[in-house]
Chains A and B, each alone.
Chain A
Amino acid sequence: MKDKIFKSLLFFAAALILILTAGIVYSLVIRSTDAFARFGFWQFVTSPEWDPRPESEHYGALSFIVGTLMTSVLALFFCIPFSFPVALFTGEYFKGKKVASLVGSVVNLLAGIPSIVYGLWGFYTLRPIIISLGLNEQGFGVLTASLVLAIMIIPYASSLTSEFLSMVPNDLKEGAYSLGATRLEVISRVSFPAAASGILASYILALGRALGETMAVTMLIGNTNNIPSSLIDTGNTMASVIANQFGEASGLKLSSLIAIGLLLFLITAVINSIAKLAMKRIKS
């Protein structure tokens, strides 16, 4: 009896998640059809125009898609030199040692900081530095947002990478050592190739995290509805345009914002399935 209840509870919980996800997709699709019907799917995706004035109303998602991809990929790029060494430190050099778990948990602590705090830090600390470096006049833009995003995704990238590095069989490494390989050679020739697809997967997951980040980016990117012309130019991301404009939106604008939400959902889903595929490869 107890077993049956437990089983049905589990079944219920699992089904609920599926239903929820399906419900989210359903409502995104239903409520975005207006925008897609009006502008056409490709037209909507490839138009950089965002004009909310009723007489010339036109919505296109391209500037936000570009802004999102620019900030996320740049953040990924910036986070590698920090997250990879941390992963090597905790997953390879000091694997299983106290100091490794200390560093690991401090880095993981970064994941627990609310994103608004990162946003405020970026606004009050990083932005004046960008201004004083003379990079741009007001300190907002893709670069500022990416730098903060990079710090935010370090824990996601490093903890998974470290996990995969520590999964590399000791026999392999010992074999290499016994052949006279140095530590660096072991890492670059044995550990790294063996864990490569897992490491790739963890960075893709970190990228997925960066794609959806809203608050900190909104505070730092400048929220201008244009395709950023350079790294120091201002722009907007998909998540932040939704956060900014959802409250007072109605009609076609609301539908367009939901359409952007659907696109973001699709992009994140594609990126997550790429990561899944990569992880599958490591297992086989």
Chain B
Amino acid sequence: MKIFLYFLVATLLLTACGNRQSKDSERKEITGAGATFPMPYYNIIFKDFGEKSGNKVTYGGIGSGGGIRSLMDKTVDFGASDAYLSDEELTAAPAKIVHIPTCMGAVVLAYNLPGVTDLKLTGSVISGIYLGTITKWNDAAIKALNPDLALPDKSVTPVYRSDGSGTTFVFSDYMTKVSPEWAEKMGTGKALKWPVGIAAKGNPGVAGIVQQTEGSVGYVGSEYGFALSIPVARLQNASGNFVDPNTESISAAANIELPADMRTMVTNSPEAGAYPISCFTWILVYQNQAYGKRTEDDSKALISLLDYVLSPEAQRVAANVHYSPLPEVALKNARVLVESIKYQK
């Protein structure tokens, strides 16, 4: 009996610590973690990459914050984030980090008004809705933008995210740029203090409430809005045009002069055909790959993965799964950044 117990304990201990070390030299395992927003896209292209190169990529959608933490702790080969690191965060990092943009997305305003399609909104009207100064759908400000629509005398229910989220960050970044009132009262951040409305967790939560509640309007990630094909508002961009969010108009937002390190928000883009609440999503890696137990082969595998992400083939996939490909200017900068990754002891 005693021997049996000892045996049991020994087996448990063995299973707990074994396993991990069985790596053969050709097949590399690349691990990454972070943003949930580009996850469906990453899952597809990482799988394609795995089939082509023989390397295996595992990606954990644990949120941008978690991805950055994991990269800082060096427990992953790359982190993924919807928000770029601030200068302070970069200096606090253990080594130099580069941001490689991988694809584009947007934040769309989904609404539920029976009989109403093709709603047009501007930044100041959205600000009024979320700050509680516009409470009815037939408010003069909404009517002025949509003279042809029969807007009902119904309360507006704004819906926002209850969890901290990159979607909120991008949305509030745009709102801060276009509405002085918003900039003063709300500001930019992953989580804000909202005066009116109801909150739900995640894009599915917000989209679910909008789909089920007449008179509601909510901001959701474009990939979600497109996949569910719920009605989304046309927004007025910096050039004064009302633009529908779609693959072309979102990509167009980055068709502008971009900084070399690609840490930039392309919201409220000056491009004429741009959808104003568009954004990049990034993969974050250390510029010098010679850290920890990493070999030169590990570094090469990671670079070939990044090359694949920027290839026309992977970028085409982006459009198929409701994301937007990077425009040529952004791709050019991104390639330079990938080339800057080195392995130096």
B-contacting residues of A (Cβ < 8 Å)? 1-2, 5, 50-55, 123-124, 127-128, 131, 137-140, 218-219, 222-225, 234, 236, 243-245, 247-250, 253
Q: Is the CB of A245 within 8 A of B197?
A: no
| The 6 residue pairs across chains A and B that have the minimum distance between CB atoms | A248-B164, A223-B199, A52-B191, A223-B162, A244-B162, A222-B198
Pick from B65, B157, B187, B216: contact of A55, CB below 8 A: B187
Asked if B191 and A5 sit within 8 Å, CB to CB, the answer is no
Can you list 9 contacts pairing A with B, beta carbon distance less than 8 Å? A127-B212, A138-B209, A139-B213, A223-B198, A223-B199, A224-B197, A225-B194, A248-B65, A249-B164
Residues of A close to B66: CB separation below 8 A: 247
Q: Tell whether, in the assembled complex, residue A51 and residue B193 are in contact, meaning their CB atoms are under 8 Å apart.
A: yes
Contact of B201 among A2, A54, A218 (CB under 8 A): A218
Please tell me if the beta carbons of A247 and B63 are within 8 angstroms of each other in the complex.
yes
Q: Given A124-B212, A222-B199, does the pair A245, B191 have CB atoms closer than 8 Å?
A: yes
- B312 proximal to A (CB < 8 A): no
B163, B165, B194, B197: which has the most chain A beta carbons within 10 Å? B163
A224 near B198 with CB under 8 A, answer: yes
- Do the beta carbons of B157 and A225 come within 8 Å of each other? no
Contact A137 B215 (CB under 8 A): yes
- Once A137-B215, A225-B193 are accepted as A-B contacts, the answer to whether A52 and B164 lie under 8 Å apart by CB is yes
Q: How far, in whole Å, are A51 and B201 apart by their CA atoms in the complex?
A: 17
At the interface, yes or no: B324 with Cβ under 8 Å from chain A? Answer: no
Q: Across the interface, do B162 and A248 meet the contact criterion of CB distance under 8 Å?
A: no
Docked Cα-Cα span, A1 to B5, in Å, equals 13
**Most A C-beta atoms less than 10 A away, residue of B69, B165, B200:** B200
Q: Are A53 and B189 in contact (CB under 8 A)?
A: yes
Digitize B198-223: 1 where CB-to-A-CB distance is under 8 Å, 0 elsewhere: 11110001001100110110000000
Q: A140-B198, A224-B199 are in contact. Are A250 and B213 (CB under 8 A)?
A: no
Kindly list chain B residues whose C-beta atoms are within 8 Å of the C-beta of A139.
Answer: 213
Interface size on B, residues (CB 8 A): 33
Which residues of the other chain, A, contact B198 by a CB distance below 8 angstroms? 138, 140, 222-224, 234
Return chain B residues, CB-CB under 8 Å to A2. 1
B155 at the interface (CB under 8 A from A): yes
Separation of A236 and B200 alpha carbons in the complex (Å):
11
Closest CB in chain B relative to A60 CB, distance in Å: 12
Q: With a CB–CB cut-off of 8 A, which chain B residues contact A51?
A: 193
Contact, CB under 8 Å: B165 / A248: yes
- Is B64's CB within 8 Å of the partner chain A? yes
Q: A138-B216, A253-B191 are in contact. List 8 more A-B contacts (CB 8 A).
A: A5-B1, A124-B212, A137-B157, A138-B198, A138-B209, A234-B198, A244-B201, A253-B164
Contact A52 B201, CB 8 Å, known A1-B1, A123-B212, A248-B63: no
Chain A residue numbers with a CB within 8 Å of B189 are 52-54
Residues on B with beta carbons closer than 8 Å to the beta carbon of A245: 162-164, 191
Q: Are A243 and B201 in contact (CB-based, < 8 A)?
A: yes
CB-defined contacts of B290 to chain A, threshold 8 Å: none
Q: Which B residues are within 8 Å of any A CB, using their own CB?
A: 1-2, 5, 63-66, 69, 155, 157, 162-165, 187, 189-194, 197-201, 205, 208-209, 212-213, 215-216
Contact B194 A224 (CB under 8 A): yes
A264 to chain B, nearest CB (A): 18
Q: A223-B199, A234-B198, A248-B191 are in contact. Are A5 and B208 (CB under 8 A)?
A: no
Question: Which residue of A is nearest B2, CB measured?
Answer: A5
Q: Which residue of A lies closest to B188 (CB)?
A: A53
- Bound Cα distance A243, B163 (Å): 9
Smallest Cβ distance from B129 to chain A, in angstroms? 14
User: How far apart are the CA atoms of A139 and B193 in the complex, in Å?
Assistant: 22
Contact A52 B192 (CB under 8 A): yes
Instruction: Tell me the minimal C-beta distance from B97 to chain A in angstroms.
Output: 18
Give every chain B residue within 8 A of A247 (Cβ-Cβ). 63, 65-66, 163-164
* Residues of chain A contacted by B1 (CB below 8 angstroms): 1-2, 5
* With contact pairs A224-B198, A224-B199, A250-B65 given, residues A138 and B213 touching in the complex (Cβ less than 8 Å): yes
**Most A CB within 10 A of own CB, among B65, B155, B191:** B191
Residue in chain A with minimal CB distance to B4:
A5
User: Which residues of B lie under 8 Å from residue A244 when comparing CB positions?
Assistant: 162-163, 199, 201
- Residues on A with C-beta less than 8 A from B164 are 52, 245, 247-249, 253
Across the interface, which residues of A come within 8 angstroms of B201, CB to CB? 218, 223, 243-244
A253 to B192, CA, bound (A): 12
* Chain A residue contacts of B69, Cβ below 8 A: 250
Contact B208 A123 (CB under 8 A): yes
B63 touches A53 (CB 8 A): no
Looking at the assembled complex, report how far the CB atom of A245 sits from the nearest CB atom of chain B, in whole angstroms.
6
For A137, list chain B residues within 8 Å (CB).
155, 157, 215
Q: Are B190 and A248 in contact (CB under 8 A)?
A: yes
CB distance from B324 to the nearest CB of A (A): 24
A residues within 8 A CB of B209? Answer: 138, 140
Which residue in A138, A249, A250 is a CB contact (below 8 Å) of B157?
A138
Q: How many angstroms between the C-alpha atoms of A243 and B157 in the bound complex?
A: 23
Residues in B neighbouring A1, C-beta threshold 8 A? 1
State in angstroms the CA–CA spacing of A218 and B69 once bound together. Answer: 27
Q: Which residues of B contact A138 (CB under 8 A)?
A: 157, 198, 209, 213, 215-216
Contacts of A234 in B (CB 8 A): 198
Q: What separation, in Å, do the CA atoms of A96 and B155 have in the docked complex?
A: 55
- Considering the complex, give the chain B residue whose CB is closest to the CB of A243: B201
Listed residue (A54, A128, A247) with the most chain B CB atoms within 10 angstroms of its CB: A247
CB-nearest residue of chain B relative to A58? Answer: B193
Cα distance A219–B199 in the bound complex, in angstroms? 9
